[in-house]
A = this chain, B = another copy of it.
Amino acid sequence: MDWREELKEMGERARCAARALATMRTEAKDAALRAMAVGLRESASSILAENEQDLTDARASGMDEATLDRLTLTPQRVEAMAVGLEEIAAFRDPVGEVMGMWSAEQGLRIGRVRVPLGVVGIIYEARPNVTADAAGLCLKSGNAVILRGGKEAACSNRAIAGVLSRAAEGAGMPEGTVQLIEATDREASVALMQLEALDVLIPRGGKALKQAVAAQARVPYIMTGAGNCHVFVDETAKLDMALDIVVNAKCQRSAVCNAMETLLVHKKAAPAFVPAALAELAKRGVELRGDDAVRALFPEALPAGTADWETEFHGMVLAVRVVEDLKEAMDHIARWGTGHSEAIVTESYANAQAFLAGVDAAAVYVNASTRFTDGSVFGFGAEMGISTQKLHARGPMGVEQLTSTKFIVYGAGQIRR
C-alpha cells in the first residue's frame, strides 16, 4: 500500500481510538502503561539488537559522537524507559477534572471539564527513548498518538513502538492508540504536518524542523525548545552567587535548550565581575565572544556581533555584553531572546520585580539558574518538551498540557429568548 494511503488509514484508526480513549477509565489506562513497561523489559534484547543495527548504519554514515550517544540504547536506558512509563502510570489522571461549575440564566448549570486533545502527532529526532515517553504521556492524557521518529533511529523506533502498541492493545486499549509512521523520508513528515485527523502536532527537533512546520503545517501545532536564554548580572548582584549561576547555566549541560547563550552584565558590575567570571568559564572550556567593553576587560574574548546575540550555540560558546542598565538588558532580551528562560541576578527588590513583570518568556528567574526550566523540577513529572509559544501551553508541557476542555450544560428544557 502507498504510504499516503497508509497514513490516511492511520489517521482514521487514531480518530477511532481517540473516541474510545476519551472515556477510558483511569485504572485501565494505568494498567496499559504498566503493561507497556513490562513489554519493554521483556523485549529488551530484541530492542537492543535493532538499536545495534541503527548504530552500525550511523557509524557507517559518519555520525558525530554526541548524536551517536543520543541514539545509543543500553539495558539501563531501556529500563529507564520502562520506569518512566510506570511513573506516568502513577500520575494523577488529568482527564475528567471539573474546572468549575456555575449557574447561568434560567437556571442552566454550566461546567468546564478537562478532556483529551484527541489525536496528537509527534515528529522527533535522534533519541529513541522519546518514543516511549511520548506514547506514555499521550495515553495517560487519553490521546491517541501518531509518532514519526528520525530515520537514524528507524529500527529502534519500530521495535519500541511495536512493543508498546502490542502491549497497550493486549491490555485493552483500542487499536490505533500508539502508531508509528515507518516511512522516514521528508515527504512523510510533511504529510503528517497536514494530516486532517490531527488535533495537534508537536515537533521536537532543530531549527530546520521548526521552520518546516511553520511553513507547511495545516494543523495546530506547539513549538518547543527554542532556547536563546540570558542571564543578567545586575549592578547590585552578589558576585559569588552570580558566578555560580553563570557557570551552572552555561556549563552544567551546555547543549540543552535551557542553558545560557548570552551573559549580560551591568556596566557597574562589569569591572569586578567580567574578568573573574570569564576566566573561570574559559578554564572550563567555554569559548567566549564579547562586545568592546567586554574585550577591554577580558582581551582573550573574541569579538561578538549580531550573529552571536541571535545564536543558540548548543554547546560551550558564550556571548557576553556589557549593558548600561536594567532597561538595556531587558531590551536586549526582548530583541534577541526566544522566550524560553531568562534570569536576573540582583539584590534590588525593584529590579527583581521589574524583570519578572517585564520579561516575556516561559520562565523568568530571580537569583537562580535557567537550567531549572524542566517538567520534573516544576512538578509536572515527565514532559513532552518545553513550549516556547504562547498559545495553549507555555513552558514545560506535562500531561495536563496534552488536554483541552469542554463545557457541559445541564438544562431542564431551557430555550434562548
Contacts and interface: CB of A to CB of B under 8 A. Distances in A.
Contacts of A85: none
A372 interface: yes
A85 to B, nearest CB: 23
A309 interface: no
Interface in A106-160: 108, 110, 115, 117-118
Contacts of A59: none
A406 B117 contact: no
A22 to B, nearest CB: 6
Contacts of A358: 19, 22-23
B368 A411 contact: yes
Given A244-B413, A379-B104, A391 B404 contact: yes
A329 to B, nearest CB: 14
B110 A378 contact: yes
Given A392-B391, A416-B248, A407 B110 contact: no
Interface stretch (A61-69, A212-220, A286-294): A212-220
A373 B409 CA distance: 10
A389 interface: yes
Contacts of A200: 390-391
B108 A409 contact: no
Nearest to A242: B413
Contact of A414 (B118, B372, B391): B372
A189 to B, nearest CB: 17
Contact of A409 (B105, B241, B363): B363
Contacts of A409: 363-366, 368, 372
A26 interface: no
A405 B361 CA distance: 9
Given A108-B372, A252-B416, A413-B245, A406 B361 contact: yes
A413 B368 contact: yes
A410 interface: yes
B117 A391 contact: yes
Given A238-B413, A362-B407, 14 more contacts: A104-B378, A104-B379, A118-B360, A222-B391, A245-B415, A364-B407, A364-B408, A365-B409, A366-B409, A367-B413, A368-B411, A372-B414, A373-B407, A391-B404
